[in-house]
Amino acid sequence: MVKSKLMSISEALDLINDGDEIAIGGMSFHRNPMAMALAIARSNRRDLALIDREPGLAFDLLTISGRVRRIRAAMVTFEHFGIAPGFRRMVENGEVEFIEDVCEGVMAGLRAGAYGVPFMPSAIALDSDLVQLNVKRGIWKVIRNPFNEEEEFVAVKAIRPDVAIIHAHKADEKGDVELQGPKYEDLLKVQAAKRVIVTVEEVVPEDYFRNNPDKLTIPGFLVTAVVHAPRGAWPTSMYGYYEADYKVIRKYFDAVKSGSNIEEVLRVFSNV
Amino acid sequence: MVKSKLMSISEALDLINDGDEIAIGGMSFHRNPMAMALAIARSNRRDLALIDREPGLAFDLLTISGRVRRIRAAMVTFEHFGIAPGFRRMVENGEVEFIEDVCEGVMAGLRAGAYGVPFMPSAIALDSDLVQLNVKRGIWKVIRNPFNEEEEFVAVKAIRPDVAIIHAHKADEKGDVELQGPKYEDLLKVQAAKRVIVTVEEVVPEDYFRNNPDKLTIPGFLVTAVVHAPRGAWPTSMYGYYEADYKVIRKYFDAVKSGSNIEEVLRVFSNV
Amino acid sequence: MSSMDNVIKCMAQQLRDGDIAYTGLASVPAVLAIALARHWGRDVTFINVAEIYEPKDMIIKVSSGDPTSFIGGKGIVTSLDAFDLARRGLLDVMFFSAAQVDRRGNMNLSVIGSYEKPRVRLPGGAAAAYLYRRARRVIMWLKEHSRRTLVEHVDFVTAPGPTKYGPHLTVCTPKALFEFDQEVGELVLTGLFPGVTVDDIINNMAFKPRIKEPLRILETVTAEELRLLNRWDPDGVRYS
Amino acid sequence: MSSMDNVIKCMAQQLRDGDIAYTGLASVPAVLAIALARHWGRDVTFINVAEIYEPKDMIIKVSSGDPTSFIGGKGIVTSLDAFDLARRGLLDVMFFSAAQVDRRGNMNLSVIGSYEKPRVRLPGGAAAAYLYRRARRVIMWLKEHSRRTLVEHVDFVTAPGPTKYGPHLTVCTPKALFEFDQEVGELVLTGLFPGVTVDDIINNMAFKPRIKEPLRILETVTAEELRLLNRWDPDGVRYS
């Protein structure tokens, strides 16, 4: 018989190993996998690496959690609040290694990973100072267009995260997922990652998808674990379900900026 | 004010020039853009080129229409009826040039075209006899993985058709399109093509999408023309609307196989 | 009952619990093989060129790409998705047929005769030229076990046979089962249907295969299985 | 009214009929510029990082990526779609701000100070390092017209300035409008707000720009426009 992919958040945590590279779903203050991020922050995992294109709260929290050694992103922003506070503190102090990527690089790398090819050609400007840095790191390479030798471009190496963590709307126990509204690069992350944890607002019976086949966004064979985590994106927004709680995000911002340690910061999320 | 993209089938025909390369939507006997294919077959266009991955009726009809000089596909099949009859006749007689591609090549080329990059790496087997043929044609090239010099693979040059022709379910006059059910590579074709003609079962008011934002499949800025063509996929199937009319397809198959000329063949479609 | 029903059963028996399997166009026997394996209780995830994911039931049409042929699906999974899965090495099973297959497992779906002036222009190889490198297992079927289909060298290598790294290839014919031996790089005769002799097999093919003794006797369809095949495929498209 | 409202109007005036424009994160002024241009009747197609396509109305939040901020959208158009459009050369307008911009139009969104030991670690350049090569036009805004923001050489070239092939770059500041001259490869002063002198502009930046005479006098927001900006952005996020 078919095994259920439903598990508790702590069982899902067991899918994450020390040193894993984790792709984080959502964007800035929207549909972040907060339930899982908080669980990781409170765990004893170590030396994790994070990757995302334009991350926000979950990424920033993990960056200061002590669980993370390396981060890779195109922009880490708290938008009109200011520079992401944990990101800024940890990178300025040299406490995490920051691989500064660009949107084009993360998208190209995730596409190569999702499509199972070694790299993707990109339109990254050759004279950005980031090119030499990321070529040295081995994640970019300047090559010629095989169909037009005069044209040079940046090839981006495939990104194959160990784990992708996505918060979504609904899933059944086979891992079939409905993801409403904005998608960001979450579908590429799911394809590119070796293991996929999807936390959801609602667990639905299988017939939900048979009765509403246009709701399927991610087929179950791409998903390793389904975790029932209602309000699992809070305080970030969940399209169609709840809005971002900017007061709590502001509290987090102020706490981190004022130098609070991780235990104090985590308290921001516990007085719900 | 915003111009309407609604036009008649003959106005849409004016978007097609002699010598154009045309990507055909749908697959085998499903959601083929038959209304437009019939219009082209009856027109005086010449030297057209066709491209698709696994085409069927519309592609085969155009192949024998006298309007087409070159075709490119991974498989041209009438499935359990047999080999596509027009394709077989025209290629065996040398009346059209056939560029034999593979699924992987068409998908990679369309992706490169859609993504605006010069080529895509592919997983085409290096020792297929097709490799030398398509390298000679300049559409494939064997290159090394820049991140692992020992690994060779086939790079596929971007496909940028002049025109894509897709039959869809609904559109508004701005070109916003709803495409239900199977997608095949139609979205890539729409992105990769320079001009896009979408024929639809129903023209809907703009508010249709504002009231049902999850119905949007193709945003209007990608679409050049919207043509109201109810039953425009007939006799191929239209997901959710009507089934394939295998009796008519069989009649076409028999007519072409028995050597009928294009005028006789077109009559198969006129006694509706 | 026809020999094609036995071929379908042979194909179905290659499927295993946990498989993700994809079927393409002109592949009614493959679709029926999956239906049969699922009927036996094997946990096979079914994705297909019709893009209807995990249908509950089916009614075979002349096109295996017909979306109305698949009933009660859970959504759309595109061929692009399926091929991405294969490129990442995660597609367990792909089905193919071919006009010719040779000792080395090379497939021809392109031409009979010369490439430039073919005697028969075949439909083309579709996904074969890459899934032969990326699917974990390939299940091939031949409608005809003959010197025309089982050749020493294919007229054109649309898709080259497996390497020692993969995929695992099995070929079901109306007479026999062949499995590709990655060590020797050849198709090896491993099974035959009841009532078929080894001579009957060898004399009806253009190369002399190695034989793996003892040869397995392949199961033929039961009355119950035939009833099911007829329910799914009342028009007998599988015989065409 | 604040100078930021004038900056937004300056940005809005760069938009033209038929434009397809994209806005990213931390880009409330850009979102408001599009709203204003559309209010004036300019036919601008609006796609954005919130992925809400062609909203009818908006209510600004602290995040320009907030999907609930955009009302009555026609569907989802992803950032991947938008960037594909740009890579094909079909995105008309992209908006950016920067911590520093220099004479050559180079942008810095990475660090102030040295890269390895930065005095300030900035958020990163996001899409800049490629849209500077692929968008047709870039509209940049600066919250501050100062020697800190308008520098002779940026500390780090996150995104290199335009080449002679593009894009067309304009920079709106609280004091002035600069346009990139593709021939000389420099930002050129082309406009100024009423009450601002050329000396005031030059003395508050770290490089001396060429000047295109006669300088245009830029329009300031009208009472009606201010009322609109306040309706869309009642909390004044645009001033933050």
Domain map of chain D by residue range? Answer: 3-239
Class of residue D14 by CB neighbours under 10 A (exposed 0-12, middle 13-18, buried 19+) = buried
pLDDT 10s digits, B157-198: 999 999 999 999 999 999 999 999 999 999 999 999 999 999
Residues of B in contact with D47 (CB under 8 A): 219, 221
**What average pLDDT score do residues A153-166 get?**
98
Tokens found for residue D157? 């070239």
For residue B270, the model assigns a pLDDT of: 87
Q: How many Cβ pairs closer than 8 A exist between chain B and D?
A: 52
User: How confident is residue C133, by pLDDT bands cut at 50, 70 and 90?
Assistant: confident
> What is the reported pLDDT for D132?
81
The predicted model gives C11-40 an average pLDDT of: 98
Residues of chain A with pLDDT > 70, as a percent, come to 99
Query: Which of A136-145, B230-239, D160-169 has the lowest average pLDDT?
Result: D160-169
Q: Which residues of A touch B138 (CB under 8 A)?
A: 147
Query: Chain C contact for B181, CB < 8 A?
Result: yes
Most A-contacting residue of D4, D53, D121, D141 (CB-CB within 10 A), to test interface: D121
Query: What is the DSSP track for B141-203?
Result: EEEEETTEEEEEEEEEEPP--SEEEEEEEEE-TT--EE--S--TTHHHHHHH-SEEEEEEEEE
Determine the residue of chain B that is closest to D55 in CA distance: B210
Helix, strand, coil shares of chain A, percent, nearest 5, are: 30, 25, 40
**Three-state DSSP class for residue D137:** strand
pLDDT in tens, C135-170: 999 999 999 999 999 999 999 999 999 999 999 999
Residue A64 Cα, gap to closest chain B Cα (Å) = 32
Q: Give C221-230's long-range contacts (Cβ < 8 A, gap of 24+).
A: C221/C1, C221/C5, C221/C6, C221/C8, C221/C9, C225/C5, C225/C9, C225/C36, C225/C39, C226/C1, C226/C5, C228/C35, C228/C36, C228/C39, C229/C5, C229/C8, C229/C32, C229/C36
- HEC string of chain C? CCHHHHHHHHHHHCCCCCCEEEECCCCHHHHHHHHHHHHCCCCCEEEECCCECCCCEECCCCCCCCHHHEECCCCECCHHHHHHHHHCCCCCEEEEECCEEECCCCEECCEEECCCCEEEECCCCCCHHHHHHHCCEEEEECCCCCCCCEECCCCCCCECCCECCECEEEEECCCEEEEEECCCCEEEEEEECCCCCHHHHHHCCCCCCEEEEEEEECCCCCHHHHHHHHHHCCCCHHHC
Residue C112: predicted pLDDT: 96
**Residue A33 Cα, gap to closest chain B Cα (Å):** 23
- Asked whether the predicted pLDDT for residue D57 surpasses 80, the reply is yes
- Write down the pLDDT at residue A3: 82
pTM: 0.98
Annotated domain spans of chain B: 6-101+160-267, 119-157
User: What is the residue-averaged pLDDT of chain A?
Assistant: 97
Extract the runs of DSSP E, i.e. beta strands, from D24-134.
45-48, 57-58, 70-71, 93-97, 100-102, 107-108, 111-113, 118-121
Min Cα separation A22/chain D (Å): 19
- Give the nearest partner residue to B146 out of A119, A122, A123, using CB atoms: A119
Check residue D8 and give its pLDDT: 98
Once rounded to an integer, what is the mean pLDDT over residues D156-179? 96
Nearest-Cα distance to chain A for D221, in Å, is: 22
Give yes or no for D20 touching B (CB within 8 A): yes
For the stretch A63-88, pLDDT in tens is 999 999 999 999 999 999 999 999 99
ipTM of this model?
0.97
Which candidate from B115, B117, B176 shows the least CB-CB separation from D74?
B176
Cβ atoms D226, D1 nearer than 8 A: yes
CATH code for the domain defined by C3-239: 3.40.1080.10
Task: Return the residue of A nearest to D119 by Cα.
Answer: A92
Q: Given CB atoms, is C114 within the 8 Å cutoff of chain B?
A: no
Residues of D in contact with A54 (CB under 8 A): 24-25, 49, 65, 126
pLDDT in tens, C171-210: 999 999 999 999 999 999 999 999 999 999 999 999 999 9
pLDDT score, position A272: 53
Would you call B219 an interface residue with chain A, using a CB distance cutoff of 8 Å? no
For chain B, which ranges sit under pLDDT 70? 1-2, 271-272
Contact A219 C74 (CB under 8 A): yes
Residue A1 pLDDT > 80: no
- Kindly indicate the confidence band of residue D2, based on its pLDDT and cuts at 50, 70 and 90: confident
pLDDT digits (tens, 9 = 90+) for D19-41: 999 999 999 999 999 999 999 99
- Picking from D70, D79, D97, D238 by the largest number of A CB atoms within 10 A of its own CB, the best residue to mutate is D79
- Indicate yes or no: CB of B157 within 8 angstroms of CB of A143: no
Is residue A124 a contact partner of residue A140, using CB atoms and an 8 Å limit?
Answer: yes
Q: Are 3 or more Cβ–Cβ pairs between D and C shorter than 8 Å?
A: no
Between chains, do A219 and C81 touch, taking CB under 8 Å as contact?
A: yes
Is the CB of A209 less than 8 angstroms away from the CB of C43?
Answer: no
Neighbours, chain B (3 or more CB pairs < 8 A) = A, C, D
Q: Does A146 touch chain B (CB under 8 A)?
A: yes
CB contact under 8 A, B120 and A121: yes
CATH (residue range A6-101+160-267): 3.40.1080.10
For residue B185, the one-letter residue type is: E
Contacts of A107 in chain D (CB under 8 A): 80, 83
Rounded mean pLDDT, A174-182: 98
The shortest CB-CB distance from B121 to any of A117, A141, A147 is to: A117
Amino acid at A14: D
Tens of pLDDT, residues D214-229: 999 999 999 999 999 9
